[in-house]
Structure 1
């Protein structure tokens, strides 16, 4: 985006779902970056000696620093760059050997995550919690022995190998970025191999009886809430109080039942579900679109709606005519979770050890057991690698049976 950067623009600019930059039309190379949290930082962009584009933060924010002051500093820096200076390389040279793990996470690496990963906040929190004992340790002082010892301690504390491997991957990604940016000379833990993980991940899906109980609990909840609303309004009417909105003419009492029916029939992730907009739902063609900015894989995918999913969305839309989000929270804003209602529903249905995310496993498992090939399941789930879908392969034993049956021949 290009525009003249001034106070009025920065006061009116709205944060987006992702980090974005505005390039100044008055001074070439002067930019501001706006984060989803609304922070506005000044920077410059220029071409380095290697021909690559470089973004260099001025280390100043709006409105603490005025636009005119930031533009003047950018003008001076860009002039020095034209004369052969490279402030980004100079900064790296100064910090090399002194940059600590936490200062890197709080600085450039954190900015990188926030710009490219929707779960940046959770990754940052996890890294700082896991490696708190190394927070003030310079990146250049890390070595394989130190981290291997940390890893052994985690296993001794009872952590599973799969958990420790996931933690190690997060740290390895951090050091890979530091190497790419020439903040350290070599990757200190590249030689550490993954630990052997015992067994595969357990796929939790509903048995036929559990699914019946879940659906029965949903219906019972709807009936209970309707009767409760009727009693409440009868009580209010006798006291001449304002009545609560009637729900008798609504197909659903609230979002829970249509959200669950959609999840069971599409395998959509909870985050994708809660950001879904009606503009991404085509009821005529019976197709639901998960946009790249909402998808975990950052790739758009299209999900066909079966009869139950289509009916649920059609009925839900009829009672939500003015909303943009399919499942809006209070005041039309994005809902953050359905934890309380979901937990009570599972208790009513007497279902244990079943998360909302497990409805995605249920969707995939039922497809495989119905004979759907794994690659189609992969596409529907939005997996980037078939390896992620192979966890469901054991649910199709008839394929293995058919394979060995081909050995039969007449002698």
Structure 2
């Protein structure tokens, strides 16, 4: 058994190997070394009981959640945002006294129904996704025998508020100089607020006209080409070798909530957030005929699901799709569609003169071939 601290973590971690050679590493969730040793000893004993007697220890949800949060933060510090921490804290307050084995469908459904009274379905969907991830992780680590079923919550439709040209002009006029540069740069690059705030001059290449957003929300770097306006903004800020690009009075900008709110009100914009500048970038691309797939890569999304909200903005996308099919059918090589002719008339009917000349043997009344019709006899009643 070894007790240690990971780089950047104030908590003590336990590391041990059982008799089967399986290695376990867990955060104790405490800064107290004595308490950490006690917890580690308890876990080692539970591991022994499980191995020899099939007894699966009941793990507190609080312990599993704290370990999940620490591992998420270490794996992707940039993605461990304030909203993620808020969701974890809320779940800790709600389920912190439970053990993992106490979770069941009814309890989760009751929680879902109660939350939907005050928040949108998307919020509940994200919270349940965290709980499911924690329970699945515990199951993989053999700390939970069965993961219960979860209630189905349809996430709300993604927000798609974007600026018109007139709204953008009003917002820029209502903004201070440092905020004006941020807004225009966000509209022209589609960068997230956090990506723009931490952009450094070392990741700006004015000669070749692109910037690199590093350690983005999904953990990957993303290169973005600069528009003429975005390049002029950076030139106007004064290129440097290093340091933050966007500053105010010599200090890096960390938040513009207050100044942005004032500018938004002054411009007369309703229901508009800084993140909607990113929606504006994507919406304008789609409106200009750029494919959803290309927009996905430009915005740094990993799934087309996240950019489907912009699909309806594509100009005449249905007309273009149908015209493409018409063009294919009109090619000289494709003549199969000509076989449909006039509805109600069989193919080749015009080649049968007997059918064409005799209305009594038309397609609608002809039941047998003409040669099979016998003449009337006197013994048959008329």
Question: Structure 1 residue runs of 4+, over 6 Å off?
Answer: 46-52, 85-88, 91-95
Map of 2:47 onto structure 1: 89
Map of 1:34 onto structure 2: 7
Task: Tell me the SS of whatever aligns to 2:207.
Answer: coil
For the pair 1:135 / 2:96, whether they are aligned, the reply is yes
For the pair 1:151 / 2:112, whether they are aligned, the reply is yes
Structural mapping, 1:2-401, within 5 Å: 32-35=5-8, 39-41=9-11, 43=13, 54-56=24-26, 61=31, 89-90=47-48, 97-106=57-66, 108-118=67-77, 119=80, 122-130=83-91, 132-155=93-116, 157-188=117-148, 191-197=149-155, 200-218=157-175, 221-222=176-177, 255-291=178-214, 293=215, 295-318=216-239, 321=240, 324-328=243-247, 332=251, 335-401=253-319
Map of 2:357 onto structure 1: none
Cα displacement (A) at 1:127: 3.2
Give the structure-2-normalised TM-score.
0.72
Structure-2 change in CA distance of 1:88 and 1:285 (3 Å): farther
8 Å contact 1:328–1:335 — kept in the other structure? Answer: yes
In structure 2, what is the Cα distance between the partners aligned to 1:56 and 1:395?
Answer: 48
In structure 1, what is the Cα distance between the partners aligned to 2:50 and 2:224?
Answer: 46
Structure-2 change in CA distance of 1:335 and 1:89 (3 Å): farther
Cα displacement (A) at 1:132: 2.8
Task: Tell me the SS of whatever aligns to 1:289.
Answer: strand
Cα displacement (A) at 1:88: 8.7
1:154-173 Cα shifts (integer Å, max 9, x gaps): 23x24333332222112111
Cα displacement (A) at 1:95: 11
In structure 1, what is the Cα distance between the partners aligned to 2:229 and 2:315?
Answer: 28
In structure 1, what is the Cα distance between the partners aligned to 2:246 and 2:49?
Answer: 47
Task: Tell me the SS of whatever aligns to 2:6.
Answer: strand
In structure 2, what is the Cα distance between the partners aligned to 1:173 and 1:58?
Answer: 19
* RMSD (CA atoms): 3.5
**Please, which runs of 5 or more residues in structure 1 have no aligned partner?**
1-28, 223-254
Give the structure-1-normalised TM-score.
0.68
Query: Larger Rg: 1 or 2?
Result: 2
Q: How many residues were matched structurally?
A: 321
Map of 2:347 onto structure 1: none
Map of 1:241 onto structure 2: none
8 Å contact 2:246–2:253 — kept in the other structure? Answer: yes
Structure-2 change in CA distance of 1:52 and 1:273 (3 Å): farther
In structure 2, what is the Cα distance between the partners aligned to 1:121 and 1:340?
Answer: 18
Cα displacement (A) at 1:325: 1.4
Structure-2 change in CA distance of 1:355 and 1:177 (3 Å): same
Task: Tell me the SS of whatever aligns to 1:380.
Answer: helix
In structure 1, what is the Cα distance between the partners aligned to 2:21 and 2:57?
Answer: 26
In structure 2, what is the Cα distance between the partners aligned to 1:256 and 1:378?
Answer: 27
**Please, which runs of 5 or more residues in structure 2 have no aligned partner?**
331-337, 339-382
Deviates more, 1:172-181 or 1:399-408: 399-408
Structure-2 change in CA distance of 1:375 and 1:100 (3 Å): same
